[in-house]
């Protein structure tokens, strides 16, 4: 196999790490069902280990991640599938402390992205969070009141502290 060049070379370290991971791979054969009956909606922040923070392991939960850990239309779609087809009985919505989505306005983010991209980004939405607890309350209510989820799953709203590793329940 020849050495990767150009954009392919950008992934060499990750492909090598994957080969090492696959050498001892023990997670094959899972059925895709949430074995612990859990679904988690959380932020894409790399400080968050969704399974580890709840004492879960691969195969236990369905995880949906996005900036801010918001319950978007796509998150609701995933939760409906989880509840009806993948054994989800409990849903945890878990944003976190010191989230970048709480530190800028929509306009500021569009400006920052536009400057970085060198083009207009005023059309791009980012679901910024101006009041994290109120947004969490709204997100939990959206899941609890969804006609295809409603009473089929327990839903809780939590905040993960990126400095202590603890979660606190708010809803």
Bridge partners (DSSP) listed for residue 155: 91
Q: What is the pLDDT of residue 7?
A: 64
- Per-residue pLDDT band for 28 (boundaries 50, 70, 90) equals confident
For residue range 70-122, list pLDDT tens digits in order. 999 999 999 999 999 999 999 999 999 999 999 999 999 999 999 999 999 99
Q: What is the pLDDT of residue 27?
A: 85
Residues sharing a CB contact under 8 Å with residue 57, sequence separation 6 or more, in sequence order = 51
Whole-prediction pTM: 0.89
Kindly tell me the sign of the dihedral angle through the C-alpha atoms of 53, 59, 64, 66. positive
Helix H, strand E, coil C: the string for the chain is CCCCCHHHHHHHHHHHHHHHHHHCCCCCCCCCCCCCCEEEEEECCCCCCCCHHHCCCCCCEEEEEEHHHCCCHHHHHHHHHHHHHCCCCEEEEECECCCHHHCCCHHHHHHHHHHHHCCCCCCCCCCCCCCHHHHHHHHHHHHHCCCCCHHHCEEEEEEECCCCCCEEECC
Q: What is the pLDDT of residue 110?
A: 95
Q: What is the pLDDT of residue 1?
A: 52
């Amino acid at each position: 196999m020849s050495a990767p060049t150009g954009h392919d070379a950008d992934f060499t370290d990750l492909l090598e790490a994957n080969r090492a991971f696959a050498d001892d791979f023990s997670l094959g054969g899972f059925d895709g069902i949430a074995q612990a009956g859990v679904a988690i909606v959380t932020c894409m922040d790399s400080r968050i280990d969704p399974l580890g923070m709840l004492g879960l392991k691969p195969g236990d939960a369905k995880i949906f991640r996005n900036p801010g850990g918001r319950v978007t239309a796509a998150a609701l779609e995933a939760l409906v599938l989880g509840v009806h087809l993948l054994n989800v009985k409990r849903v945890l919505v878990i944003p976190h402390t010191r989230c970048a989505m709480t530190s800028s306005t929509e306009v500021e983010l569009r400006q920052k992205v536009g400057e970085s991209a060198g083009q207009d980004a005023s059309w791009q939405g980012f679901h910024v969070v101006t009041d994290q607890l109120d947004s969490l309350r709204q997100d939990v209510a959206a899941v609890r009141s969804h006609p295809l989820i409603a009473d089929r799953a327990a839903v809780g709203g939590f905040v993960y502290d990126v400095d202590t590793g603890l979660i606190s329940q708010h809803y």
